[in-house]
Amino acid sequence: MKKITFVIFSLFLLGQSLIALPLAVPQNKCMRAMSPEELTKESQLIVRVKVNKVDKATYLGLYEQIAILKVTEVVDGDTSLRGKEIRVWAQSRVPCAEDSYTLNDELLVFLVREVTFYRTLNYQFGQFHMQNEQVLGWRDKDKGEIAKNYPEVATEIRTILFSRSADAGSAQTAPLVSARP
């Protein structure tokens, strides 16, 4: 009887340990940060914004925050949005996502459509805080995360966009030519 009780107790402790283990592991390293090239190519809207308002909101059980952002500059996408407000879903329930907006933050964000509004592409890794015309946490191939002047970042993004459109133009197939005289 003592052996059965010991085995059951041991299994109980093992089960408790397995349940508690994921909670003890830091969750901020389980999501891959996209490169600036990937962010640029996959986003539908790249804008510099100021956070005007944040509210708790639920959308299909996927998000817990709605942020109202004032567009100060459009790097890529619908240029008519400059000076207007856009709504972005945030605080996703995706594991490891930490996408959140804070009132009065100035950011460079990479966005994609989420049916009704937008969401941040690559969650927290698609948001870059701005301070004194510096883009904080910009991902550089050689130096890792750095602070980089905003005009240089905007130029880098536009260069990526230009190379994408040049690649698309050269990838077009040649017209079919008949072999008949």
Neighbours of 114 (CB within 10 A): 17
Q: What is the pLDDT of residue 18?
A: 42
Give the chain's mean pLDDT.
84
pTM comes to 0.76
Q: In CATH, what number is assigned to the domain containing residue 46?
A: 2.40.50.120
pLDDT in tens, 49-83: 999 999 999 888 899 999 999 999 999 999 999 99
Residue 3 in domain:
no
What is the tens place of the pLDDT at every residue in 98-123?
Answer: 999 999 999 999 999 998 899 999 99
**What is the total count of domains within the chain?**
1
Q: How far apart are CA 29 and CA 94, in angstroms?
A: 14
pLDDT of residue 128: 97
Residue 5 lies in a domain: no
Residue 172, Cβ neighbours under 10 Å: how many? 7
Q: Of 119, 149, 122, 152, nearest to 136 (Cα)? A: 149
